[in-house]
Amino acid sequence: MPSLRGKTVFITGASRGIGRAIGVACAREGANVVVAAKTSRPHPKLPGTIHDAADEMTRAGGQALAVECDIREEDQIAAAVTAAVDRFGGIDVCVNNASAIFLAGTLETPMKRWDLMHGVNARGTFATTQACLPWLLRAENPHVLMLSPPLNLSPRWFANSVAYTMAKYGMSMCVLGMAEEFRDRGVAVNALWPRTVIATAALNLLGGEETARHGRKPEIVADAAVAILRREARTCTGNFFVDEDVLRAEGVTDLGKYAVAPGEELMPDLFLG
């Protein structure tokens, strides 16, 4: 099975939450991690900066590069990719983790929120992958991983938050199309989504600490991501993975260690309930 040691992993939105956890997990494998995110200075409401994250990844055993990057801006993506290549010599993995969320109905969704979600989720994912692809195509075992849900056109997932669902499914449609487009060129393109809610800052929109008690830690997604990224790219593409299924396939039988509050009933995440 391929190793991540010495590989360069470019992760968007890696200053906190799931993206940061994936970066730390990759660093433990000996990877070089590019922390591409907006927060270069402490945020008044949210913990973590790109520099804090890079320091943690270095302590975990890898090398890390913090790059301030708003993936709505093509020039910033290009600069981040150039910085990554200048520092590490190439890019082996692109993890599209950055995402914007606003859960509301049609009448309650300001167009600026629509623009943000589609600019970050769908457009940002496409633009970041596009910028990384010239380097991925030169890599030995190239992977693109989207943190996005399985495609399911049941009206229940659209009715209460049509704008957000469309934006997240835009990321998943990138998986569907790009996996097939680059199948013969050896670039794996997959999606990963959690079975349960994950205790991150974004969870404040879904009930905060009380909801978090019924969720799991970001490390479950991170460990599943590493398992996917270590697989052979040519034989592992076009999949919509769920974190606990990936880990069970790897022989992990104890998922209780990932629970925020062991013994509490787990709450399914959006798109899987």
Positive or negative torsion for Cα 232, 233, 236, 239: positive
Q: Which of 195, 203, 124, 121 is nearest to 163 (CA)?
A: 121
224 neighbors 247 (Cβ within 8 angstroms): yes
Our answer to whether residue 164 is catalytic in this structure is yes
Catalytic residue among 164, 193, 241, 271: 164
User: What are the structure tokens assigned to 130, written together?
Assistant: 């596009």
Look-up of token digits 């990554």: 84
Rounded CA-CA distance 272/157 in Å is 9
- C-alpha distance from residue 102 to each of 114, 140, 181, 212 (Å): 8, 38, 31, 18
Residues labelled catalytic = 164
